[in-house]
Amino acid sequence: MDNVDLDVLRRLAQWRREGHRAVLGTVTRTWGSAPRPVGAMVAVRDDGAVAGSVSGGCIEDDLSDRVRAGGAAPGRPAVVRYGVTADEASRFGLPCGGTLELVLEPIEPHSRVDELLAELEQGHRVARRLDMASGRVELAPAGDAAERVALSEAELLSTHGPGWRLLIIGAGQMSQYLAGMALALGYEVIVCDPREEYTDAWQVDGARLVRTMPDDTVTEMRPDRHTAVVALTHDPKLDDLALMEALKSEAFYVGAIGSHGNQKKRRERLLEFDLTEEQIARLHGPVGLRIGARTPPEIALAILAHMTAERYGFHVPAFGSALSS
């Protein structure tokens, strides 16, 4: 789940502590173009205040009116749809022909929002089961289960927590920007750097810092298709160690900073180890999209933009300019 939806849960918990009633909406299905993905959440307070988003604002306005009037999920979870016709799509701010389905549930103590939030803030992945008849919720560890939202007549099953991981090799200045931005996008961030002169100054809350050797770190993590590995030290002794293992894994994105000339030399070095040409071809180097980035935060943005494209299956040529050594 991304930080937008985590903030929705935080607001829900705060509203409950303040004595307000509230309704939680979860996107369960979309047809055509939709503003937010399945699993996105919105919360509406009894006075109409809204946290989160599932559209450009029109659906939220309608939900706010419903809640104030007492017509949204009055006693138990309910399914609602928006944008079934072209006229409704226009009215509710959806692209023409788009349709959005949500489950609306009144938040009660048995909704277990505080417990879910506590687990998520510890970095745990949680499976949530909502009984559509009673509104009662069961929570269980999700482990490495894939992100999913499944609605039936009886229940809504959803998986919450950091479904995507980013391993950054190097704890320098650029890594701090990349880690902070990645955390905002909902990644679990691990930063690996055995050099004390860098790790002693690390200051990004929420990113886990490890001081083990990069190849050992990658091996221990066992990168899957929800993992990205980005090497940013400019030190081949560290970057190449991580890349040797990451390129053999299922990681959806493997990148390394450095100029085109340095990347050519890097590929020649990697061929000397037990990597195939196909594995080496997976390396994004220079890392990041070509957006004219110059400063560390701009380069971090270019890297995350390329990761996002790859994550959603948009294979955009990179050849990042200005990512030189």
Half-sphere exposure of 118 (CA within 13 A, CB side): 6
- Distance of alpha carbon 81 from alpha carbon 2, whole angstroms: 23
Range of the domain at 71: 3-160
- Distance of alpha carbon 278 from alpha carbon 258, whole angstroms: 20
Residues 239 and 225 in one domain: yes
Residues 152 and 244 in one domain: no
What pLDDT, on a 0 to 100 scale, did the predictor assign at position 69?
Answer: 85
What pLDDT, on a 0 to 100 scale, did the predictor assign at position 72?
Answer: 63
Within a domain: residue 323? no
Percent of the chain with pLDDT over 90: 63
Within a domain: residue 319? no
- Distance of alpha carbon 52 from alpha carbon 11, whole angstroms: 9
Of 160, 186, 213, the one marking the end of a domain is 160
Residues 50 and 196 in one domain: no
pLDDT tens digits, one per residue of 9-35: 999 999 999 999 999 999 999 877 666
Within a domain: residue 320? no
Of 160, 182, 202, the one marking the end of a domain is 160
Q: In this predicted structure, which of 27-31, 73-77, 245-249 has the lowest mean pLDDT?
A: 73-77
CB 199 within 8 A of CB 168: no
Residues 44 and 10 in one domain: yes
Residues 179 and 303 in one domain: yes
Which helix (H) or strand (E) segment is 266 a member of? helix 260-271
More confident residue, 254 or 37: 254
- Distance of alpha carbon 246 from alpha carbon 255, whole angstroms: 10
Average pLDDT, the chain: 88
Residues 241 and 274 in one domain: yes
Within a domain: residue 259? yes
Task: Categorize the per-residue pLDDT at 169 as very low, low, confident or very high, splitting at 50, 70 and 90.
Answer: very high
CA of 207: how far to CAs of 178, 217, 236, 296, in Å? Answer: 10, 15, 23, 18
Residues 39 and 59 in one domain: yes
pTM, 2 dp:
0.65
Among the listed residues 156, 138, 11, the one whose alpha carbon sits nearest the alpha carbon of residue 78: 156
Within a domain: residue 322? no
What pLDDT, on a 0 to 100 scale, did the predictor assign at position 232?
Answer: 97
Residues 289 and 244 in one domain: yes
DSSP code for 94:
P
CB 48 within 8 A of CB 68: yes
CATH code, domain with 222: 3.40.50.720
Would you call 41 exposed, middle or buried from its count of C-beta atoms within 10 A (0-12, 13-18, 19+)? buried
Residues 155 and 228 in one domain: no
Within a domain: residue 318? no
CB 304 within 8 A of CB 314: no
Within a domain: residue 36? yes
Residues 168 and 133 in one domain: no
Cα of 238 vs its chain's centroid, Å: 27
Residues 45 and 128 in one domain: yes
Which sign does the torsion angle of CA 220, 221, 225, 230 carry?
A: negative
pLDDT tens digits, one per residue of 85-130: 666 666 666 655 578 899 999 999 999 999 999 988 877 889 999 9
Residues 38 and 72 in one domain: yes
* Number of structural domains the chain divides into: 2
Percent helix, strand and coil across the chain, each to the nearest 5: 35, 25, 40
Of 160, 178, 210, the one marking the end of a domain is 160
